[in-house]
Structure 1
Amino acid sequence: MRTTVRTATAAARPTGSRRSSGCPGSKGGVMRKTAGILLLAFSAAVAAQNFPSKTVRFVSGVTPGSASDTMARILAEKLQQKWGQPVIVENKLGAGGLVGAKYVADSAPDGHMIMMYASAYTVAPLLSPNVLRFDELTPVAAVATIPTVLVTQPEKYKTIQEFVAKAKASPGKLVCADAGIGSATHMAFEKFRFAAGIPDVLNVHTKGVGEAITEVVSGRADCYFALVFQARKMVDSGKLVALATSSPKRSALMPNIPTTEELGYPNSHYNFWVGTLVPAKTPKAIVDKLHDDITALVESPEVNEKIRKLGCDPLPMSVKEFDDMIAGEIKENTALIKKAGIKAN
């Protein structure tokens, strides 16, 4: 099943009264408040030292076998060995990952429930704000980026320049597949489309990456920004050609395919990332521990190599850097969604 969419005064104290020693502004009140803050900080530190104290769950919003799901399982295996507690992966599918994200957001903020999300996190809540707010989750650790490449049938287009020229010459006739409304594959094309000056196209929103690439192989769609590890097999077999890479840099799996920006389309790259988030009220000490442990694994030779074999590039960064990256993308995607007229189903 596919969906086709065309886009273009505080109260005064009584006179003469004295402040009770229990009022917040009194010396005793201040001391009690300070003691309370110190107690909370101490409790959080102790909780972090004892973390994890039970089974930890990674929640994946995509199907088993997907790149982000596979990365969650790689991390789960290694973290279980490090922590001495079970670490499992649960799949909660639906609404561009929002079902899983909301499930995590509503869980106890103790670090034992972790959302393995992708860049769709900076899109899906914009399209479905009644499901999840951005302030319900807090970023922990970025894990990797997943390059995508623009694929088409060999007999249709030989170069990206030819592709763009034909799309401009026939407004509204180019049929473009993607893995769903607001998916990274959809947003990657929309960003490239505007950078290249391509007018209206016919978007075919499928149920996932497998169906999307089938649309192109069959000829029902003209193009699709495919995940690089997905595209390489089809390109190597001659069924498809790859015209450009949408990521900020070339993919190690397909290093001969230049980026869209290398090919002369400024501000056309799309950053398809995978990372971890937890409920917003999770203590900072636990967030920091999770970040440090996950990032150490991402930087380790063994996990680093496994990530690269998936066609992905490890993306270690600080919590602040990850938070800033997300904030920037939310702003950018808000503008892109408005410009492209993207709406949720």
Structure 2
Amino acid sequence: MLVVSRRWLGCAAVVMALGAYVNGASAQTYPSQSVKLLVGFAPGGPADIIARIVGQKLSEHWRQPVVIENRGGAGGNIAAVQAAKAEPNGSTILVTTSAFAVNPSLSSKAGYSPDEFRVAVIAATTPNLIVGAPNLPFATLADAIKAAKAQPMTYGTAGIGTTPHLSAEKIFSIVAKVPILHTPFTGAGPALNSVVGGHTPLASVALPAAVELVKGGQVKALAVTSNERIAALPDVPTAREQGLADDEDATWVAFFLPAKTPSAIVEKINADVNAVVSDKEVQQQLGKIGFRAVGGGVEQANRYVKSEIVKWGDVIGKLGLKLDQ
């Protein structure tokens, strides 16, 4: 029979109480220094847009500097690897997209495991958009695909494993069965710049990165991957309308922390980001560029990301994609 002394039990109770006190105190004083939002992609993409909108509001609320650091490359993996090694004190927050849920299935060398992180909050979501260079002689994605069957064509994305990449591959490889070559960039901004300059005929990106370029006539919007047309670009047909999809694909942006970050800090960040994205002015700002604010609790966010890992792992299997081959 195991005998436990009262003295040991008393010490254990003190340790547990002290741990709870420290955990609570850390939330009350957080943040006591500047906070870095480590963005997994280059400036101009969805993660960068959300980081800057939310980061500005957090800085005002926290009365601490919120610094944006872009670490694009490898479909968000470079930033994820760096964030996984950060001190688990809330001073570094990874802001990345649904590529986080894709990359571990896409490659055994992603450099991180989802288990190394906790999701603080899903900030926003948006459909993907396929655009073309302004001088292309067609106005819809269906027309572009017909042209691609007769002549070589390429398309750019923010990186291998991003959901815009997988959305495009589903359409081109599975539905249309046309070999359009993928050209990965370090972010949506560089991919779109290549289309604007006429170097790449097509690009598949999260919608907000391209809205102003479409409105300004610098790129042509060929298809959106939502089930219904988007208010920000009401004249752009869906891929579904063109017979090229039967479901909706989206890119979401979330805030991640190292798994050992105290729960009180994770909850604090969750609550404060929720306050930002529930603000009507922020929601209007996001809506104009094609985002929908999400928010919600920590456990809800973690369940959602786990479901996305399963969903995109299945898509990757059907496409036969594997970076290690």
Q: When the two structures are superposed, what TM-score results if normalisation uses the length of structure 1?
A: 0.79
For 2:38 and 2:107, locate their aligned partners in 1 and report how far apart those are by CA, in whole Å: 20
1:298 Cα deviation after fit: 0.8
Q: 1:212 aligns with which of 180, 185, 191?
A: 191
Paired residue type of 1:334: G
Q: Does 1:50 align with 2:29?
A: yes
Change (3 A) 1:239 1:285: closer
- Within a 5 Å distance, the mapping from 1:1-345 to structure 2 comes to 19-22=2-5, 29-30=8-9, 32-130=11-109, 131-152=111-132, 156-163=137-144, 175-193=154-172, 196-198=175-177, 200-213=179-192, 216=195, 221=200, 223-236=202-215, 240-265=219-244, 267-344=246-323
* Distance apart, 1:334 and its partner CA: 1.5
Give distance in 2, aligned partners of 1:64 and 1:163. Answer: 28
Structure 2: distance between partners of 1:250 and 1:28 = 67
- SS of corresponding position for 1:59: strand
Q: Which moved more, 1:84-93 or 1:210-219?
A: 210-219
- Percent identity at matched positions? 30
CA distance in 2, matches of 1:159, 1:63: 28
State the distance in 2 between where 1:112 and 1:237 align.
38
The residue identity in structure 2 corresponding to 1:137 is: F
Partners of 1:143 and 1:295 within 8 A in 2: yes
Q: Per-residue CA shift, 1:241-282, capped at 9, x if unaligned?
A: 323211355333202223333554554422101110111111
State the distance in 1 between where 2:62 and 2:19 align. 24
SS where residue 256 of structure 2 aligns?
A: strand
Taking structure 2 as the reference length, the TM-score comes to 0.83
Per the TM alignment, residue 216 of structure 1 is displaced from its structure 2 partner at its CA by 4.7
Tell whether the 8 Å contact from 2:195 to 2:201 is kept in structure 1 after alignment. Answer: yes
Q: Cα distance, 1:97 vs. partner?
A: 2.2
Q: Which is higher, the Rg of structure 1 or of structure 2?
A: 1
CA distance in 2, matches of 1:206, 1:329: 23
Distance in 1 (alpha carbons) for counterparts of 2:244 and 2:265 = 42
Q: What secondary structure, in the 3-state scheme, does the structure 2 residue paired with 1:343 have?
A: coil
Asked whether the equivalents of residues 45 and 189 of structure 2 are also in contact (C-alpha less than 8 Å), the reply is no
Post-superposition Cα deviations, 1:66-96, rounded to whole Å, max 9, x if no partner, equal: 3422322222222222122232222333322
Contact preservation (8 Å) 1:177, 1:223: yes
Query: In structure 1, what is the Cα distance between the partners aligned to 2:208 and 2:3?
Result: 69
Distance 2:140 2:205 in 1: 17
User: CA separation of 1:238/1:80 partners in 2, compared to 1, >3 Å: closer, same or farther?
Assistant: closer
User: Are the equivalent residues in 2 in contact too, given 1:260–1:268 (CA < 8 A)?
Assistant: no
Which residues of structure 1 form unaligned runs of 5+?
1-17
Q: Which blocks of at least 5 consecutive residues in structure 2 are unaligned?
A: none
Name the SS for the 1:123 alignment partner. helix
Partners of 2:122 and 2:294 within 8 A in 1:
yes
Residues 1:323 and 1:194: Cα distance change in structure 2 (over 3 Å): farther
How many matched pairs? 322
* 1:29-88 C-alpha deviation (Å, 9 max, x unpaired): 555444433332232112112212222221112223434223222222222221222322
